Structure 1
Amino acid sequence: MTEQQAKKSLYTLLLIVLLSCAGIALPYPILAPLFLNEVNSFTNFAGIEPKLLLGFLLAVYPLGLLIGSSFIGAASDIYGRRKVLVITLIFSAVGYLLSVWALLSENYLLFALTRFITGISEGNIAIAKAIAIDLSPPLDKTRNYSLVSATTYAGWLLGPVVGGLLQPHGAYLAFLVAAVAMLFAIVVVYFYLGESNRSKMCQEHAHLSIRRVLYQNNSFTLLKHKPIRRLFYVFLFSTLATNAYYEFYPLWLVESFNFSGPNIGFITAILTTAMIISSIYLLPIVKAKYGLVKASKISMLCFALMMFAHALLTETSSWFAYVFIGVAIAIYNAMLPIFASEQFSDVSQGKLMGLITTTFSLSNVLMAIIGSIISLYGSVYSIMFGGFLMLIAISILHFIEINENSEPPK
């Protein structure tokens, strides 16, 4: 692949990541106000406490993501990135359209099912990360990954802002917009994204059935390698901490300061703007000065301290604090996957990125359940619990740094 072709694929990829992540983030400022402020058959399904209903919805989407990311990245190693990406985007569009129907009919169970289906298909973020690795060379791997990270955060900025603005007009509108975005993404991928995976594995094993990919080539098979397993624990505890923040800061803002959907969208925009700027401009500087591991540990520690600080934040100080939180998240979210890719360069990158995405999804499910129970005593405790988990991740990463010369699996 020439440098010009690689750049065309990269720019196309960035557009797809932007649309996909915006679709994922659209519901963030919608669900918390919906379950805390509205009383209907949807928010009081079967007489269950609304916070627990919300917690289940927060868990069911990443549960689907957990399943999807465990094999979608590996499937793209075998069948090709472009083909698998198109198929998953089609399922995402269908999932969002079904979510619209579920909200209009106030059918909680159908909505939960559609969130699960959408989650499975959106495990395709592992494909995006793998393509960023594929394009190196001729393009720089760190630069590619930082641009993908920045675009991911841009999607998280765009999604909550659009979702927050649409929320007063009906929760279903956000999901309808997401469906349209996915349909547009399908067209763009089909006509403009080239196939980046032309590996020997892809050519020799394209005949494998999806059943065999599920059982023999899923991302969890990497965990039989001890060095990868140690790194998996770092990702598990750090993403548990990150999801404690992502999933419960909207609830904390509503409980503590009575934030509306638009206000949640705007403060999320500030958070993600800090992530975008840090990913584009700060990451190369930090990597050059501190290295991947040290930079990760410093940013993870700063994030943990900011999570503990939620017990003291006021409504005004929260807006400033979320800028620093965005910077910290951007650094370790980019540094850790690059470290994993460089440590285990002999591993299929689709499968490795799939494992990282799967770990995030697993932690999302676990934290949605654990955090929703803790939130019954106050959402701030869910966030502070995340700070404790991040300290565990830092401790494990320190141990891996000592053993980082371990022979990677072939």
Structure 2
Amino acid sequence: MNTADKKSFISVLFIIAIDNFGFGLVFILFAPLMLNMHYGMLPSISDAGTRNLFLGLLFAVYPLAQFFGAPLFGDFADHFGRKKALYYTLLGSVIGFLLSGFSILATSYTLLLISRLITGFFAGNLSICMASIADLSPTEKLRARNFGIMTVVWGASWPFAMLAGGYLSDPRVNPLFNPALPFWCAAILTALGILVVARLFVETHEKKEKVYFDFMKGLHNVKQALLISKVRPYFVLIFFWTLGWGLGIQWFGSFSILEFKIPQTIISIYLVIQGAFWTLGGSLINPLMLRRFNSRQNVLIGLPLVIVLLIACGFATTYLWFVWIYMFAAAFASFTFANSNNLLSINAPAKIQGSIMGLSQSMMSLAWLVVPLAGGVMGAIDPHLYYFGAGFFMACGLLVLLLTRRAATS
């Protein structure tokens, strides 16, 4: 990479880090906000089942809005450039985070729901950043390496989100702390991201003249993704990967509480460690494996390990066994995620990388929309099904890849 490309790459990594920071906060904050009557977000007469229903709705509206917003901004980025698209998505995210903080102070569930819709709609940063990485990575090896670095940064930001959500929201740590404060921090960091893009990011994509906005693009994208024969299996692979990993991570806290009666502070610590293992997968396992294998081979090696480890989580009889099995699953999940995205990117035409990544994020958003619904049903039957189901979905992704003839790589 030349100097301009390196600066652009650094700015993209910064955006990915703050994007994941804001995304991760809800895994720590929303459960106590909804389930603890002390916060007053829901009427005190609400029973536990009703509170869980409202919690699931909060989790679901973000990917629902993202499902419609991400592909729009992906097309926008292809037509008007990555830089301008990042300005809009980051500004919208700032507004969403500010409204989230205000709604918590106002103890308004309705405003919080609206804020999650806004934040989700403008959460097209990831697809734009991934398209920018593809623009900056002309070869398969370089692209795989850069996607690996992306997963490292993504994982490295996770512990900060867990710590910020766990401690900055707790007035027992400091009287000035409250559950709104982590969202204020996310808003400030995202605003800083706008400045980073302005100063460092150099446009990576040739702009086009016309753009046609379709607010049903998310639905059309799912259909389109399944019709593009060359990349169809990789869209489906990413969909099943997201279902499997999303089920495991989103219901990690619930499983810890329901099965092992673990307090929230201990859960937060283990989620921080999980982020470290995720980073390990991208920073150590991925580059080592890329020296000997291509991305397809890496997924075929890593995904079976993730499947076995996730299913083993469901059989764990002690919390210590459960969390350490899960940590190793996180390392290999990170590794397979980077290589799965690289498979999609290298098999897509260069001129529509933004659209392809928008399609990918639509598939991921659809999966994240299914996760709270599937998890709610599984938890009502048996919480162990979280991890048996996660392994099953990952196995579906592996089966799709095994049935796919290897495409030519650049």
Q: TM-score, normalised to structure 2's length?
A: 0.90
Cα shift at 1:212: 8.9
In structure 2, list runs of 5 or more residues that go unmatched. Answer: 172-177
Identify the residue that residue 342 of structure 2 maps to in structure 1: 338
- Cα offsets for 1:214-233 (capped at 9, x unmatched): 59996853432223223322
Identify the residue that residue 72 of structure 2 maps to in structure 1: 71
2-structure distance, mates of 1:66, 1:119? 8
- Cα offsets for 1:153-190 (capped at 9, x unmatched): 11222211211122323321211111111111112112
2-structure distance, mates of 1:310, 1:40? 32
Please tell me whether residue 109 in structure 1 is matched to residue 110 in structure 2: yes
Identify the residue that residue 127 of structure 1 maps to in structure 2: 128
2-structure distance, mates of 1:306, 1:42? 37
After TM superposition, the structure 1 = structure 2 runs for residues 46-195 of structure 1, keeping only pairs within 5 Å, are: 47=46, 49-137=50-138, 140-169=142-171, 170-195=178-203
2-structure distance, mates of 1:397, 1:264? 34
2-structure distance, mates of 1:301, 1:248? 21
1-structure distance, mates of 2:135, 2:345? 11
* Residues 160/212 of structure 1: CA separation in 2 closer, same or farther (3 Å cut): closer
Cα shift at 1:129: 0.5
* Residues 372/340 of structure 1: CA separation in 2 closer, same or farther (3 Å cut): same
Cα shift at 1:261: 3.6
1:74 partner SS: helix
After TM superposition, the structure 1 = structure 2 runs for residues 9-408 of structure 1, keeping only pairs within 5 Å, are: 9-38=8-37, 41-44=40-43, 47=46, 49-137=50-138, 140-169=142-171, 170-198=178-206, 202-203=207-208, 205=209, 207-211=210-214, 214=217, 221-313=224-316, 314-346=318-350, 348-400=352-404, 403-405=405-407
- AA paired with 1:24? F
Cα shift at 1:210: 3.6
Aligned residues between the structures: 400
* Structure 1 contact 71–219 (Cα < 8 Å) conserved: no
Cα shift at 1:288: 3.2
More helix by share: 1
* Residues 248/39 of structure 1: CA separation in 2 closer, same or farther (3 Å cut): same
* Structure 1 contact 70–354 (Cα < 8 Å) conserved: yes
1-structure distance, mates of 2:220, 2:19? 25
Percent identity of the aligned residues?
24
* Structure 1 contact 66–123 (Cα < 8 Å) conserved: no
1-structure distance, mates of 2:408, 2:138? 25
* Structure 2 contact 313–325 (Cα < 8 Å) conserved: no
Greater alpha carbon shift after TM alignment, 140-149 vs 257-266: 257-266
- Cα offsets for 1:302-331 (capped at 9, x unmatched): 222222222333222234223201211111
Greater alpha carbon shift after TM alignment, 176-185 vs 223-232: 223-232
In structure 1, list runs of 5 or more residues that go unmatched. Answer: none
2-structure distance, mates of 1:59, 1:10? 31
- AA paired with 2:305? C
- Cα offsets for 1:357-382 (capped at 9, x unmatched): 22111100011112112212343322
1-structure distance, mates of 2:381, 2:132? 43
2-structure distance, mates of 1:217, 1:191? 35
1-structure distance, mates of 2:67, 2:378? 23
Greater alpha carbon shift after TM alignment, 116-125 vs 231-240: 231-240
Query: RMSD across aligned C-alpha pairs, in angstroms?
Result: 2.6
1-structure distance, mates of 2:218, 2:359? 14
1-structure distance, mates of 2:24, 2:292? 33
1-structure distance, mates of 2:157, 2:230? 33
